[in-house]
Chain A
């Protein structure tokens, strides 16, 4: 049975002047799970998050939070924890002062000592925010998001700029919240992060939802093979090979997404005698994501 709904958007549109950012979003976010919101830059992810938080006013369409609460209402805000990509803090306050400040906004905040310990911030409690490293700042911003013990956590690119160790600390903290029943909306550019943490994935592009489902379902829905090779053929030539969906030229090898890998590989071998380092794999979430967004772009260009 589905858990209670934390957010329901219907026919949501948003424009910046004459530029559309969201073009009719119908989305239901169920509680108790991690939903990853994926999309290329400019897909409308941040606009959607700002609308859910009430930072932007709804122009057309409808959003209901936790049933019938308005985005931005005090009742909704007290149940949501946020870590925004574009947010900063008053950076001459110490970690401890910031936590005390944010704890005061919520009726039953979490223990600050426990949070500092969980996020490896104990030794930094009295340090000013502007004297922290990038990774330490991200962990403090996460602590501010969860100090109010929210029912719903909205994380906009929480691990951008973090080293692997710091990413693992945040992943553990996110998983701990999920186990405790907190609903999480995770906006990320890291497909491994979405694959690891998400129960449900929503792919957004040009203000529309392209696909949504479990990470495995998204992967299976895109019948792509991923071919990696060092080739002398230029991308425009590669795109003419059978079943090719997309070509991404990397620094070392070129990545080719194909609907039928075997057909593409045969043609590739025939066309390029100098082919090296060939590798063929099934689609992972990143491959599926690229195939979905590339095919949406091709359809738009064709139209």
Chain B
């Protein structure tokens, strides 16, 4: 009788893959932190808390989108997903492994930024606020994981990084993650309020006391966004099986 648990083995394989791909892991972890250092700690020192919340949102969103989007598109093209689907592998563990990976990245990004903010940005929060910030951003990464998964199932491996960047960077900017949306012209502020990263950042800002948020409204927007991409994921999966 086989004692090895296939789900644990698959999740382990996903993590080994991440650890052995520094060309992906290091930029994903360091890119948003570097942005925070430039904007939040060097250029706009008075906005360190605000920009901690928005750049951490930017970081966890990127980790979620790219962990799923690029890797699923690549694994689909190289036939790894095909082999797993044809064998008695628990394919849900592939998704779970990537989700754990994205959430771990989210936590690492938030912790690195929080440490920098506390050390060099004079950001002072209570313990429960630090934990709340890490918690909301980690859980809030899930709708973006679904978006990455859906795009990974629909895009080719060559198109995936370009399309994801095309979504990630403008959506981050337009949601006020780089520059507070209050500095936008009125019409652009209206656009920002329709975008999911704006609402995740709003929850982070509320937890840290930087700005109050309408939790019901923001959670509804994030939930609806996640639902749309859950449907796209289901359709993408059916497409793989040749169901028209």
Of the candidate stretches A102-110, A189-197, A244-252, the one touching chain B is A102-110
Interface SS of chain A: helix, strand, loop or mixed? Answer: loop
Of the candidate stretches B38-46, B85-93, B210-218, the one touching chain A is B85-93
Is the beta-carbon distance between A84 and B10 smaller than 8 angstroms?
no
* Interface membership of A143, Cβ < 8 A: no
- Point out the residues of chain B lying under 8 angstroms from A90, CB to CB: 13, 17, 75, 80
Interface residues on A, range: 35 or more
Smallest CB gap from A16: residue in B = B242
- Point out the residues of chain B lying under 8 angstroms from A302, CB to CB: none
* Interface membership of B82, Cβ < 8 A: yes
- Point out the residues of chain B lying under 8 angstroms from A92, CB to CB: 16-17, 20-21
Is the beta-carbon distance between B88 and A74 smaller than 8 angstroms?
yes
Is the beta-carbon distance between A104 and B5 smaller than 8 angstroms?
yes
Is the beta-carbon distance between A103 and B2 smaller than 8 angstroms?
yes
CA of A192 to CA of B115, assembled, Å: 66
Interchain CB contact (< 8 A) of A56 among B17, B79, B242:
B242
Nearest-neighbour CB distance to chain A for B93, whole angstroms, equals 10
CA of A53 to CA of B240, assembled, Å: 13
Is the beta-carbon distance between A87 and B2 smaller than 8 angstroms?
no
With contact pairs A57-B242, A57-B243, A97-B16 given, residues A109 and B83 touching in the complex (Cβ less than 8 Å): no
With contact pairs A57-B242, A82-B87, A97-B13 given, residues A106 and B80 touching in the complex (Cβ less than 8 Å): no
* Interface membership of A86, Cβ < 8 A: yes
For A43-55 the 0/1 string (1 means CB < 8 A from B) is: 0000000100111
Is the beta-carbon distance between A93 and B86 smaller than 8 angstroms?
no
**7 interchain residue pairs of minimum CB distance:** A88-B78, A104-B4, A87-B79, A77-B88, A87-B83, A88-B79, A56-B242
Interchain CB contact (< 8 A) of B80 among A53, A56, A87, A108:
A87
With contact pairs A88-B80, A90-B13, A92-B21 given, residues A54 and B86 touching in the complex (Cβ less than 8 Å): yes
